[in-house]
Structures are given as structure tokens and as C-alpha cells.
């Protein structure tokens, strides 16, 4: 009998399970993962999510709040971690910690599930278990979305932000912000995030 760790699922199976589940799951390379789970090599079917650390939650909340304030009245809006992103090119379904959508949303519906296709900015908060994957495999998938212009990684273990921005020629540039009094500038939406506000109330 095939081990459950080895089984590959179809997108249809994932969507059916996600529709019936009380918890969020991501779908990557034929494997189903509870949202936020660190093991990206494959795992058993799971019915619970891994909880994020307190700093991770505070930073995510701070970032989403800052983005929402600065985008108020503009054609862009921020979404929290309940907005599912679908990447057709790789058949991947992910829940970013935060994202920005500008203009009209491109939504693909599967039953009652809304699948967002055109985010402009993706924000992920790094932890010990997810940092490598967020920088590599997840970034590889996100940058296959043509609408994505900025990919922001905020560390939950130290004061550090990494901003990947797509240039007009399609290349990606990296800007690192290590200064606690520094600022993260998101060129695609004209937003500036103060590091001291991103890390407000965070104790390492």
C-alpha cells in the first residue's frame, strides 16, 4: 500500500477538502499542508493548523494595519491571511500573511471558494521553520504571477526586512533593511513602512 506521505493529490481533491474543512490548507506540488506548517517535503493529511509565534502574529498585524492606513482612499487595498492566492502556472494555492490588490480583482471561483489571481504585493513574515522556503520555493512560485511587483519578507526573529522588487525589464532586485529606524518603500504602490512601526510591541 502506498504510504500517505507519498500520495499526490489533484487540485480538485484539494479544493473539495478545503471547501469542507474548518481550517486553511495550502497546496504545493500535489501535497496538502495545513497553513503555516514548516514541513514542505510532504506530510500526512492534517486537520489542524500550526500556530505562529507571538512576534510573527504581532508583525503580521502591524504590517497589515500600516498598509491599510496608507492605502485608504486609493485604488489598492490590503488583505490579511484569509485571502487565498491561486497560481495557475504551478497549480499552487497559498495564503500569504498579507497582500495588496490594486484595481479590479481577478477571481477564479471553484464552487464557493474565491481564488485570487492578481495580487500586486505579497508579504510573508519569516520564522525559523519557514524562512528558507519563503525565500526560495515560495518566492519562485509567487514571481510566476505577472501582476506581482513586490515581495516583502519581514523577519520575526530579528529586525530585518528583505524587499524583492520586479524591474521594468522583469529582473528582481533585493533591498535589505536592517536599521530599526529605517523605512521599507514599496515602489509598486507608493507605500513607506517604518521599521519601528512594523516591530512595535515585538520582544525577541
Say if residue 177's pLDDT is above 50.
yes
By percentage, how much of the chain surpasses pLDDT 90? 81
The pLDDT of residue 1 is 40
Give me the chain's average pLDDT, please: 90
Q: What is the mean pLDDT of residues 105-134?
A: 94
Question: Do residues 139 and 164 touch, judged by C-beta distance below 8 A?
Answer: yes
Query: Which domains, from first to last, does the chain contain?
Result: 54-198 (3.90.1570.10)
Q: For residue 133, is pLDDT > 80?
A: yes
Instruction: Judge whether residue 4 has pLDDT over 60.
Output: no
What's 151's DSSP letter? Answer: E
Q: What is the DSSP string of 42-89?
A: -----SSPPPPPHHHHHHHHHHHHHHHHHHTTSSEEEE-TT--EEETT
Residue 45's pLDDT is: 42
**Where do the H-state alpha helices sit in the chain?**
11-20, 54-71, 131-135, 137-142, 195-198
Q: Which of 1-10, 17-26, 98-107, 178-187 has the lowest mean pLDDT?
A: 1-10
For residue 87, give the C-alpha cell.
Answer: 497560481
Among 93, 204, 197, which residue's Cα sits nearest to residue 145? 93
**Separation in Å, CA 90 to CA 65, 103, 105, 123, 141:** 31, 24, 20, 19, 7
Residues facing residue 107 across a β-bridge:
116
The reported pTM is 0.89
- What is the pLDDT averaged over residues 163-188? 97
**Across 138-152, average pLDDT:** 97
pLDDT over threshold 60, residue 3:
no
**Whole-number percent of the chain with pLDDT over 70:** 89
Best CA proximity match to 40, nearest among 31, 49, 53, 48:
31
Give the pLDDT confidence of 19-60 residue by residue, as tens digits: 998 889 999 999 998 886 544 444 434 333 445 789 999 999
Q: Which residues pair with 22 in a beta bridge?
A: none
Q: Compute the average pLDDT of residues 124-141.
A: 93
Amino acid at each position: 500500500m502506498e504510504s500517505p506521505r507519498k500520495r499526490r493529490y489533484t487540485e480538485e481533491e484539494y479544493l473539495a477538502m478545503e471547501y469542507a474543512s474548518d481550517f486553511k490548507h495550502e497546496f504545493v506540488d500535489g501535497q496538502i499542508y495545513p497553513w503555516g506548517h514548516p514541513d514542505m517535503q510532504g506530510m500526512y493529511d492534517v486537520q489542524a493548523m500550526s500556530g505562529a509565534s507571538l512576534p510573527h502574529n504581532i508583525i503580521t498585524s502591524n504590517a497589515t494595519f500600516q498598509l491599510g492606513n496608507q492605502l485608504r482612499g486609493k485604488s489598492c487595498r490590503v488583505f490579511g491571511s484569509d485571502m487565498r492566492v491561486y497560481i495557475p502556472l504551478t497549480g499552487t494555492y497559498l495564503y500569504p500573511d498579507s497582500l495588496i490588490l490594486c484595481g479590479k480583482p481577478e477571481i477564479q471561483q471553484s464552487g464557493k471558494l474565491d481564488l485570487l489571481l492578481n495580487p500586486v504585493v505579497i508579504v510573508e513574515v519569516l520564522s525559523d521553520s519557514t524562512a528558507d522556503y519563503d525565500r526560495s520555493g515560495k518566492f519562485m512560485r509567487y514571481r510566476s504571477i505577472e501582476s506581482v511587483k513586490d515581495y516583502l519578507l519581514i523577519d520575526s526573529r530579528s529586525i530585518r526586512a528583505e524587499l524583492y522588487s520586479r524591474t521594468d525589464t522583469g529582473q528582481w532586485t533585493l533591498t535589505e533593511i536592517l536599521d530599526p529606524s529605517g523605512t521599507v518603500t514599496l515602489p509598486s504602490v507608493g507605500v513607506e513602512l517604518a521599521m519601528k512601526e512594523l516591530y512595535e510591541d515585538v520582544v525577541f
